[in-house]
Structure formats: structure tokens, C-alpha cells
Structure 1
């Protein structure tokens, strides 16, 4: 049995970008878990409408 695992979770969130305004996008979180309890978010990224993968730092949750 592994004590520390890495889990991926995809959630649809509302994001805001200056160029496009508000948009709903799928955000994937990569989390470190200890005994299936999430401890820390290692990385999060989103996929654009054109299939590109971008870091979530480029857009914010609110205006």
C-alpha cells in the first residue's frame, strides 16, 4: 500500500481573462495525497478552446 500518491482532478470553473472576459473552463489540479487525503496542490492548469494547455496564473477567478 502506498502512503503518498499523486492525484489528478478536473473541475469546471468560472475564470476571467482580460481578452475574452468571463469563461467556463476545465481546470486540472494535481495534488499530493497522504492515505487518500489531499495535502498540497502541486500544479494546476487549464485547457483552452483551441486545445492548448496553459497555466492558471494567466487568468484570475474574479475581475
Structure 2
């Protein structure tokens, strides 16, 4: 039995970009978990664009 596992979860979020304004996109979080229950840290998060490209979430800000 492994103590630390990697989980991937996708959910919809409101994002804001300077060029397109406010948009709703699917954001995927990759997290390390302890005993498959307790989240330890977020390793990476990325989003799918309107055109189907994959981008890092650092390119856009959370909507205010």
C-alpha cells in the first residue's frame, strides 16, 4: 500500500483574461494526497482553452 498518491480532478471555474474578458473554463488540478484522502499539495494546474489548447493557469487571473 502506497502512502502518497497522485490525484487528478477537473472542475469548471470562472477565469478572466485581458484579451477575452471573463470566461468559464475547465481547470484540472494535480494533487499529492496522503492515504488517498488528505491533500498535501497542488503539484500543477492547467486549463483547456476555447480552441482546445492546454495552458498553464499562471497565464490568467481569477475573476474578481
TM-score, normalised to structure 2's length? 0.93
The CA RMSD over aligned residues, in Å, is 0.9
- Scaled by the length of structure 1, the TM-score of the pair is 0.95
Give, in angstroms, the shift of residue 62 of structure 1: 2.6
In the alignment, the residues of structure 2 paired with residue 25 and residue 11 of structure 1 have an alpha-carbon distance, to the nearest angstrom, of 8
In the TM superposition, structure 1's runs of 4+ consecutive aligned residues that sit over 4 Å from their partners are: none
Separation in 2, partners of 1:22, 1:44: 19
How many residues are aligned here?
63
Residues 21-63 of structure 1 deviation map (CA, whole Å, 9 limit, x = unaligned): 0000000000001112111000000001111000000000035
Aligned position for 2:17: 17
